Structures are given as C-alpha cells and as structure tokens.
Chains A and B, each alone.
Chain A
C-alpha cells in the first residue's frame, strides 16, 4: 500500500476511535449500542499496537531479530523449543486469560459503564500491555528467568524476597475470592451444583483416557470431555426437576465452601494427570469457544447497553462494594487493564518458546489486548441487563434486605426500577429459584450472557444458556483454584525448605500433605469468612485481591524500570515508570482508605469498631451476633494484611530507587544478567 493511503487509513482509524470513545463518554441518553464499545476498543487497540507498541519495540527495548532467543540457543525439545508465533500467542493467551477479566468489570459496573470501560481501554494500552511486553522481553534476554529471580539478581535480595512473598499472598487471596464467586453461583442452585460437580469426574475420565487408554491423544480426549460437559449442563436440568435427587445438590453456602476446600486439597495432592491437566484442557477449550461465541453474538445482536454512563454510586455508597470511584474502580478492575499475575507467565514459560525477538510485540502486547477485549465484553454483558435487575442480582442481602420485597423497594428507590415479578420471571426463565443477592459477578454475567446468546442463537433455551455460562465460569475458576493451590504449595515448600531442607522435597509425601494443608487453610479461612459475612464477603475480598494484584504489577514494573535505567535507557524509563507511578498512587490510596477510612463500608478498623460497639450494646440481631466476633477479628486481620501489602510494595520501590540512585552517582550495582549476543541461525519462518 502506498504511504499516503496508509497514513489516511490510520487517520481514519484515529478519528473513528476518537468518535467512538467520545460517543460513549458523552452519551447521556436512555441507552447506547454495544457496537460503540467494540468500535472504541478495536480502534484504541489498533493505534496502541501499531504506534506505541512498535515504538517501544524499536526504540526502548531495541528488539533484535538477528539475536538468537533462549529457545534457539538452549533448544531441548521440551521446555525450550523455538515455536511459531501464533502457537506461542495461543499458549500465552490461554495462560493469562482467567476469570478475572470477567468478574472485575461486572462488579465495577456499579459505577456505570463509563469509568470501567475507559480504564480497561487505556489501562491496557498504556499499562497492562506494556508490563507484559517488557517483562517478556527482560525474561527472554535472561534465558527465561522468573520475575522473582530477576528481582533478586538485578535489584537485590530484599526486592527479590519481597516479590516472592507478594506472589504467594496474592495467590491465597485470589483463590479465596474465586472460591467465593463459585459458592455464590452454586448456593441453593441444584442445577448449577450438579453441573459443576459433574465436571470433576468428567475431568478424571479425560485424564485416564489420555494417560492410559490412548496415551497422548489430547484432542480426542478433550473432544469427549467437551461433549460430556455439555451433557452435564443438560443433565443438571434433569436433576433440578427431579424432586428426590435435587435435594442432594441443594446446599447452603457454607457446606459448598467446605466441599470446595476439600476439592482444592485433593487436587493439590492428586497426580496432575488425573485432575489438573485434563481440567485445564477442558477449561481452555471452553474459554476459547465461549469468548469467540460471545464476540460473534455481540456483533450479530448489537445489544443496547441500559446502564447509565455514571451512577450515583461514584460517591462511594455502592451496594456491591464500598468506596469512591477513585481509587476503587482501578482496584476492582485489575485483570483486563493491568494484572501483575501476567508478569509471572511472561517471565518463565513463554520466553522459552519464542523463536524470534520480534515476536515479543505480538505476544506480550497483543495477547494482553485480547484479554482487555474479553473484559470489554464482560462489561457489555453486565450492562445490557436492566440496571434494576443488575443491582438486584449483585446486591448482598446485608445491604438491601433479605426479603425480595424490601430489596426491590430499596433498589427502585435508588432510581433503578425493578419488581419482584420481574425477578421471579427472570429466575424462572433461567431455571433458578431466585436470583436475588447472588453477589460475585458470575450469576449476573451468566444472565447477561444467556440473554445475549438466547437472542442470537435461540431464545427458547435461556435456562440452558444460563447454566452453560455458570458451568463455563465455574470450570475455569476451579482450574485457577486447583492450579493456584498447587503452585502455592510449591512456593511454600521452596520457602520452608530454607528452614528445614526436608520440607523442600516436592515429592516427600508428609511435606506435600503438610504444605497443601497450609495453603488450603490459608485461602479456606478467607473463603469461610466471606461465606458467613452477611454483606456477601465479595465487598471485602475483591478489593483485597485487586490491591494484591496491582501490587504485583507494581513490583514487575519496578523491576522493569530499574533494569531500563541500569542499562542506560533512562530517557525511556517513563514507559514503565508512568504506569508504575499510577499503580503506586492507586494501591497506596486504596490501601490507606481500606485501613483508616471512617466509612464503615470502606475502612476495616472502622467496621470492626462499629460492630464491636453494636455487639457490646446488644443491638445486633442474633444471627449476626453469633458471627460478629469472627467478623471483627477478620476485619482486623484484613487491615494488617493490607498494610503488609503496602509495605512489601514500598520495599520493592525503595530498593529500585536505591538502584537508580547508585546508577546516577556511579556507585557499584549488581551486574546485568543479560545473556550475551549470539547470532540467530534460524530461518525467518518456522
């Protein structure tokens, strides 16, 4: 294409993108078409990828396509293998995309569609994608070292240990909150519970099939698994209509929480091939299929977004979680805009597959753009619901009242009209007894997805679509839960191995049982508290998770900034320093408010003191008084935990600043561990 034409095309994309972003920002009408969101997203991504990412690749990182990658130099046919970039892209995307970008935007929709959408778009282009891409680059130049190793070797032992402890704690909180999301989706829903339970034996069948019956036939086994999963969705409906069987699957949240803990423990000690690996295949296929189907359905259907651009809850009084727009929208949506967890994938597995350095832009930056797009679709699925319905599903009983009539009165009084009949009809259509107070994001997302799928592919099967969506979310939440428990176990064994070497043996059974038990007890505790909390638990756990995830991102960006400056690229260090500064501002502000705010729905200490006072005065209803001492203790614990996160974050930042100071005044520094240049011998195409 000739140059003028190309420039004109990009100018067109820029104008279209600006118009779409402006359109969704300025719209104050009744509703706005979801196509505007898709257009805005695609234009912003295209410009970010074409200009910003390629500038970073060429001028900041100076990618060198003549340089041999670790995959080429250390090719062993196993973990180091030069691989086609599309294949690496697929692996990398499958690894970074979890339930986070689906849940976060759904919760953040309480502020209206606008703040979350803007943060997803610009946070990704300027922050999340940059983090993933730079981390991938740094690790590739260091033979695929992990983030923790890079922090230790390039900054110092202090930064390295802080990064390790930070990673472990985020894992615990993450698993707890994901467990809570699943519990809230299965609570008193025999259909959902039966379907989700069926995924466990199905995974085992798939595991046995590809281990023993037809070794290595991954695709055959997965195809059988996917068919069985779809049958399980239908079978759940049969269970739900069967009077004597349905009671077996109709449980309180607490019972389900115990089951999930037992499951997590079993998954961590069972061999991977039996449960973890096959479940992971199934969840990856389901995830890819559903994401594509959702994109197709949204484009075919072009649904109207009914949520206002901004709601009154930006003042901090929101029912789903307390706290003002700033900083809590940036905490609530972590994955989808910027997620520290990605730095763990981008350093480690992916760099060992890269055939050429020039693929770093597409894989690091591009895969995160796709994840951001998933978050935009989740935002659309949540906001196409009537706002009244959205709040009825997501507001915990502790805020709007236990009785349906109280809840609809309160929600309607906020200006989001909804009626009991409307909710009953909806619940019936979805094949559920009730949809009130299903906090956590999964059910409202499932209702949104079901209505989109239903309109696009057949209205008659709403209940099936709803339970398909629940199964889809549950299966990959459980995948993160069991894989996370296992990784947590390895990390703990690694750390405890320093104290008593025997505990570090990953195959010594007593150590496996002991450390798995500790990890499950860690997240199990937070899950338990989340379930007994009448305010739903999500309002406490999700911000804690967001703070932890953003903290990990800040650690990754600190390591990146430190290395950029050390290697003489200080002119360009703002590329990572800018998102880093923003993350430090939002995490520190959010943590400060969570600890010290006087607002009972925000401050941990304030809430604990208030509850203690009410308990002492005897004004709590008996069921609340029974759990009050545990909740008070937990609020204190959460406050200290938040403080701990901030301290870890600042330790890494100060360690990075120390390195920068040493560089500027010419003091000795830890040497760069970048592998020396070796010319690539690989042909351009693999």
Chain B
C-alpha cells in the first residue's frame, strides 16, 4: 500500500513538474559534467519560459 502511494506521489510530482529540477540535475550529471549546473531558481525560470512557447492548451 505504502509503495503504491509512494509511486502515485512520484507520478503526481512528475506530471506537475515538481521534480523537474531533480531530473535536470540527473541529466546534467550524466551528460554535461564539464560545466556547473544552474541553481534551482535559474533553472526554474528557463524551464517555465520554455514550457510556454507553443500551443499548450486547447478547447
């Protein structure tokens, strides 16, 4: 039961983008070790701005 709740919580975090920074750090550690990662605030700014560039919502 507890593991199920935990995985549901992970899904909700993932869907809402709550864990976006953690996933970015992971991606960064895997692919771009040569440069320092952005801090949380800067990353979130870029992430939010890029998310809103195209058609996001419809009727």
Contacts and interface: CB of A to CB of B under 8 A. Distances in A.
Contacts of A81: 23
B56 A174 contact: no
Contacts of B13: 219
Contacts of A490: 53
Nearest to A345: B58
A178 B59 CA distance: 9
A86 B13 CA distance: 13
B58 A96 contact: yes
A218 interface: yes
Interface residues of B, number: 33
A348 interface: yes
A344 B20 contact: no
B58 A211 contact: no
B59 A480 contact: yes
Interface in A578-637: none
Given A79-B50, A272-B48, A277-B48, A483 B17 contact: no
Contact of B57 (A78, A87, A98, A211): A98
A483 B57 contact: yes
Majority SS at the chain B contact face:
helix
Nearest to A216: B44
A90 interface: yes
B59 A216 contact: no
A336 B55 CA distance: 19
B11 A86 contact: yes
B11 A87 contact: yes
Contact of B54 (A84, A219, A349): A349
Nearest to B26: A77
Nearest to A79: B50
A389 B52 CA distance: 41
B44 to A, nearest CB: 4
A398 interface: no
Contact of A77 (B14, B24, B48, B59): B24
Contacts, number: 101
A487 interface: yes
B57 A84 contact: no
Interface in B8-58: 11-18, 20-21, 23-24, 27-28, 31, 40-41, 43-45, 47-58
Majority SS at the chain A contact face:
helix
Contacts of A23: none
Given A77-B24, A79-B50, A272-B48, A90 B58 contact: no
Interface residues of A, number: 51
Contact of B18 (A77, A79, A217, A272): A217
A449 to B, nearest CB: 19
Contact of B59 (A86, A99, A218, A277): A99
A215 B46 CA distance: 12
A129 to B, nearest CB: 15
A439 interface: no
A222 interface: yes
B57 to A, nearest CB: 5
A95 B58 contact: yes
A218 B12 CA distance: 11
A77 B23 contact: yes
A210 interface: yes
A210 B44 contact: yes
Nearest to A278: B48
A345 B48 contact: no
A525 interface: no
A487 B54 contact: yes
A479 B20 CA distance: 23
A218 B17 contact: yes
Contacts of B18: 216-219
A91 interface: yes
Contacts of B15: 87, 90-91, 94
A277 B51 contact: yes
A363 interface: no
Contacts of A240: none
Given A87-B15, A100-B59, A348-B55, 5 more contacts: A95-B58, A211-B45, A216-B47, A222-B16, A273-B48
25 contacts: A75-B27, A77-B23, A77-B24, A78-B50, A81-B23, A84-B14, A87-B15, A94-B15, A95-B56, A95-B57, A98-B58, A99-B59, A100-B58, A100-B59, A174-B59, A217-B18, A277-B51, A335-B58, A339-B59, A348-B54, A348-B55, A349-B54, A480-B58, A483-B57, A486-B52
The 4 closest A-B pairs by CB, nearest first: A77-B27, A100-B59, A341-B58, A216-B44
